[in-house]
Amino acid sequence: MKIAFVGRIIDGTGKAPFDGIILIDGEKIEKVGLAEEVTIPPKTKIVKVNSGTILPGLIDCHVHLMGERTLDFMKSAFEPLELKSVRAAMDCSKLLNAGYTSVRDVGGLGIYLKRAIEEGEIKGPRIMSAFKILSQTGGHGDIHSLPLDIAKRTGFSRLCDGADDCRKAAREQFREGADFIKICTTGGVLSERDLPTSAQFTLDEIRAIVEEAQRVGSFVAAHAEGTEGIKNAIKAGVKTIEHGDFIDDEGIDMMLKNDNILIPTFSIGERIISEGEKYKVPEWGIRKMRQLWEVQSKNFKKAKEAGVKIATGTDFGGGPLTPLGENSQELEILVREGLTSMEAIIAATKTASEALNMKDKIGTLETGKFADLIIVDGDPLSDISILRKAENIKVVVKGGKVEKHLKSSKIAFS
């Protein structure tokens, strides 16, 4: 059965909002346009949105579907994987309920959750997953406080050293069903014995991983905070730079030349600074985050003004500190950091779809793309914060299927 959504539309392309019709046939969008441009066939189910706004489904490019409930990694390391799996399944439902129809799992259980969602066993967004994070020994993905043999068996990282081992590690992830590869080319905030400014992996190691991804038509996302590690990642051919805190003018120019996408992940930083102590984040993690917060803001603004592509990502993994379902906090912060509300929406839709390597399938409300859309109560261009509350997301459609319809919304399916 065909469905026609009639109302105010923000299509994700950057075009001004318009009153129009989205005609859906099966899982795809058949036509989008003004009322006089779209003919609604007989027996079509019509959804009239008399108030509110229709947008593309939202996308978070940097989540961890790990079922985490703490950023105390020593505690988390010894929690049963079975328990984490159940939690992660619940997190998927929360994401969809909040209007997120697609996410990129940059280290976690996404390859399994994806199958369960596709089988109809659980509800959740469309998932692209990296499975295990690739990190050098002693790098950002290593659990430094554990003995090395235990660290190698724990968590969601694959430690690898030397080009050959890195190549093998990449092949292992694809063998398990990964859609892309996530690597760490610098230290980080939540790794105890390294610094965000420290470069990790050699150029040869990174290139070996990128080559393996390209061989199968995929790409690499790089956790990269320090200046040298950012540039090494770009030189080696990665697609997206995650965090990018210490990017300099040369790095910005390199990103523009290579068409890289920056995913700043402000949300986790704000959460750690404001509530990290309450939720047992290690003191060294809170200290490091405070040290780089203003630097990241300043360099982000420079990258944005230069024209670097920006996509949304939260680095949320679940639990009270980084709750999946409140991912639109990132859009609020991006607006505070200088984006317009429309630019923030584009970052969470059109540009985010590029970061997933799916720009021809999702991200905008255009003919031929998957029918992923949400109906939000109010105007996010006037108040971007309305997207943050799941109760404001009245309808969620993924692949033409209505996944959420709040009866209280007064949006009638006739």
- DSSP of 114-144: HHHHHTTSS---EEEE--SEEE-TTSTTS-T
Residues 6+ apart with CB under 8 A from 181: 130, 134, 170, 173, 174, 209, 212, 213, 218, 219, 220, 221
Q: The sheet that has 58-63: what strands, in order across it? A: 58-63, 100-105, 126-129
Residue where the block lists tokens 């066939």: 41
* Measured distance CA(147)–CA(202) in Å, rounded: 24
Residue where the block lists tokens 């109809």: 120
pLDDT reported for residue 77:
80
pLDDT reported for residue 413:
72
Burial environment of residue 156 by CB neighbours within 10 A (0 to 12, 13 to 18, 19 or more): buried
Whole-structure pTM value: 0.97
pLDDT reported for residue 72:
77
Q: CA of 111: how far to CAs of 32, 63, 88, 176, in Å?
A: 33, 13, 12, 8
pLDDT tens, position by position, 224-262: 999 999 999 999 999 999 999 999 999 999 999 999 999
Nearest to 315 by CA among 188, 192, 146: 188
* Measured distance CA(391)–CA(90) in Å, rounded: 17
Name the strand (E) or helix (H) holding 18: strand 18-25
Q: CA of 75: how far to CAs of 26, 180, 261, 280, 281, in Å?
A: 46, 28, 34, 10, 11
Within the chain, how many helices (H) and strands (E) appear?
Answer: 13, 18
Name the strand (E) or helix (H) holding 352: helix 350-355
pLDDT reported for residue 53:
97
Long-range contact pairs involving 344-348 (C-beta distance under 8 Å, separation at least 24):
344/312, 344/384, 345/10, 345/12, 345/55, 345/380, 345/381, 345/384, 346/12, 346/13, 346/14, 347/310, 347/311, 347/312, 348/58, 348/59, 348/60, 348/311, 348/312
At 86 the three-state DSSP class reads: helix
Q: How many residues does the chain have?
A: 414
Q: Which phi and psi angles does 188 have, rounded to 5°?
A: -150, -175
Nearest to 236 by CA among 262, 215, 261, 211: 211
Establish how many alpha carbons lie within 13 A of residue 231's alpha carbon, considering only the half-sphere containing its beta carbon: 12
pLDDT reported for residue 414:
64
Q: Do residues 125 and 102 touch, judged by C-beta distance below 8 A?
A: yes
pLDDT reported for residue 153:
72
Q: Which residues are catalytic?
A: 182, 315
* Measured distance CA(52)–CA(408) in Å, rounded: 13
Across the strands, what pairs with 183? 134, 222
Q: Do residues 185 and 234 touch, judged by C-beta distance below 8 A?
A: no
User: Hey, what domains does the chain have and what are their CATH numbers?
Assistant: 2-57+364-409 (2.30.40.10), 58-355 (3.20.20.140)
Q: Do residues 363 and 352 touch, judged by C-beta distance below 8 A?
A: yes
Residues of the chain with pLDDT under 70: 151, 408, 410, 412, 414
* Measured distance CA(53)–CA(50) in Å, rounded: 9
SS3 content of the chain, % helix, strand, coil (to 5): 35, 20, 40
* Measured distance CA(83)–CA(353) in Å, rounded: 31
